[in-house]
Amino acid sequence: MPPLDHLPDGVFCAADYERLSGSFMAGPTHAYVAGGSGHDVTALANRDVFAAWAICPRVLADVSSGHTRLALPGAPSLAHPLLLAPVAYQRLAHPLGELASAQAAEATHSGMVVSTLASQTLEDIARHAGAARWFQLYLQPTRDATLALLRRAEAAGYGAIVLTLDASIQVPSLHALRAGFRMPAHVVAVNVAGQPAPGAVALQPGHSRIFQGAMSESPGWADLDWLLSQTSLPVWVKGVLHPDDARALQTRGVAGVVVSNHGGRGLDGAPASLRMLPLVREAVGASFPLLFDGGVRSGADAFKALALGANAVLIGRLQVYALSVAGALGVAHMLQLLRDELEICMAQAGCATLAHVQPTTLYSTGIVP
């Protein structure tokens, strides 16, 4: 079904967009978006882990002057802690793709992280998005190509760089493969089109296709140091789960870390993002900026991530689902519903501000996901 130009009937919560999206995306496309890598072990774990935590209500708390404002490196004043995650190829879901998501971000005062693999130019997206727009960077096969992207993002007014490091090798979703998904010809990663592709490495007999092949050009710590030396924008690193990695990145001088497993699209079998979040928070201390993503489908999910140590939360698949149903209107509606859901949880849990959303608001349900 083509996207609607009005709000759909029957959407009462943000997660309803997930339910509806199956009617608006072709089966193989839906499988590509919804799937994790491999057998979906991590993608499913990302969702299930939220059941381990309950939010405890409080009585008679004064939340009458409550708000959800926050400041982050690269976004000094955000109205609320829900940001659009970088999601590639959004023209798969809607003819306007990232332009529609950017309009929704602006209309709802939401931050947006634009993917290197966007299907609209980063300059056009910047013209549609509000002030809180960041650029997600994949290191390119050459430093010149990376620098060219970085300079374009700086010139277009992006406020921060989000360097994704958990995708140096990606296994496609088995669901998408089995459904026969292929990227349509009109959906192109326009910002990196025409740039050198990762070098096709000539393998010697007996060499590993992975170590001597795909991984032979994967980035290392020196590449991070180089990137940090090339820009005065805050650089976040996305795709971190191990507390030691987070600590090392903090020491290296990154502005913040995104605790994420790429929505279960990286290492299949990696722990759920929410499971690792409190361990990462403990490793980096109370004041180091942390974002979180993975499995958020409701305001209660976002609340739990904030309570376990995130300063803000990125929204991945729900963005695509809402985009497929009703374009900019759908994404804006989804963000508004999610924000309402989060604020309802905060009010009921007696939290007037994000600073009140602490681990002490949560109790174990005893459910082991």
Binding-site sequence positions for FMN: 86-88, 115, 136, 164, 238, 293-297, 316-317
Note whether 33 binds ligand FNR by CB under 6 A. Answer: yes
What are phi and psi for residue 183, nearest 5 degrees? Answer: -65, 125
Taking CB under 6 A as the criterion, the residue among 80, 262, 333, 356 binding ligand FNR is 262
Q: Interacting stretch for ligand FNR, rule CB under 6 A, among 62-70, 73-81, 246-254, 291-299?
A: 291-299
Q: Could you tell me if 20 and 8 are in contact, meaning their C-beta atoms sit under 8 angstroms apart?
A: yes
Note whether 295 binds ligand FNR by CB under 6 A. Answer: yes
Note whether 240 binds ligand FNR by CB under 6 A. Answer: no
The secondary element (H helix, E strand) that includes residue 238 is: strand 235-240
Helix axes 221-230, 243-252, angle to 10 degrees: 40
Identity of the residue, 247 or 265, whose beta carbon is nearer to ligand FNR in the bound complex: 265
Q: Could you tell me if 277 and 308 are in contact, meaning their C-beta atoms sit under 8 angstroms apart?
A: yes
Note whether 86 binds ligand FNR by CB under 6 A. Answer: yes
What tokens does 364 get?
């174990």
As a whole number of Å, the CA-based R_g of the chain is: 20
Positions 112 through 131 that interact with ligand FNR (CB under 6 A): 115, 117
As measured in angstroms, the least distance from the Cβ of 205 to ligand FNR is 35
Strands 70-72 and 75-78: antiparallel
The secondary element (H helix, E strand) that includes residue 226 is: helix 221-230
Write the interaction track for ligand FNR spanning residues 133-172; mark x where CB under 6 A is met and - where it is not.
Answer: ---x---------------------------x--------
Distances (CA, A) of 295 to 51, 145, 160, 313: 11, 33, 24, 11
Q: Interacting stretch for ligand FNR, rule CB under 6 A, among 3-11, 80-88, 178-186, 247-255?
A: 80-88
Identity of the residue, 236 or 356, whose beta carbon is nearer to ligand FNR in the bound complex: 236
- Annotated catalytic, 175? no
Q: Interacting stretch for ligand FNR, rule CB under 6 A, among 4-12, 102-110, 170-178, 316-324?
A: 316-324
Residue type, 246: A
The secondary element (H helix, E strand) that includes residue 126 is: helix 122-128
Distance between CA 173 and CA 37 in Å, rounded?
Answer: 4
Note whether 266 binds ligand FNR by CB under 6 A. Answer: no
Please state the residue numbers annotated as binding site for glyoxylate: 32, 138, 260, 262, 265
Q: Could you tell me if 80 and 339 are in contact, meaning their C-beta atoms sit under 8 angstroms apart?
A: yes
What sections of 231-316 are H helices per DSSP?
243-252, 273-284, 299-307
Identity of the residue, 82 or 356, whose beta carbon is nearer to ligand FNR in the bound complex: 82
Which is the catalytic residue, given 80, 262, 333, 356?
262
Q: Could you tell me if 73 and 255 are in contact, meaning their C-beta atoms sit under 8 angstroms apart?
A: yes
Positions 179 through 238 that interact with ligand FNR (CB under 6 A): 238
As measured in angstroms, the least distance from the Cβ of 131 to ligand FNR is 21
What tokens does 305 get?
């991530």
Note whether 263 binds ligand FNR by CB under 6 A. Answer: yes
Under DSSP, is residue 172 helix (H, G, I), strand (E, B) or coil? coil
Q: Interacting stretch for ligand FNR, rule CB under 6 A, among 148-156, 225-233, 256-264, 358-366?
A: 256-264
Q: Interacting stretch for ligand FNR, rule CB under 6 A, among 101-109, 179-187, 228-236, 313-321?
A: 313-321
Q: For tokens 């290392």, what's the residue?
A: 220
As measured in angstroms, the least distance from the Cβ of 71 to ligand FNR is 22
Identity of the residue, 111 or 294, whose beta carbon is nearer to ligand FNR in the bound complex: 294
Under DSSP, is residue 7 helix (H, G, I), strand (E, B) or coil? coil
Distance between CA 30 and CA 28 in Å, rounded?
Answer: 5
**Residues labelled catalytic:** 262
User: Which residues contact ligand FNR (rule: CB under 6 A)?
Assistant: 33, 46, 85-88, 115, 117, 136, 164, 238, 260, 262-263, 265, 293-296, 314-317, 320
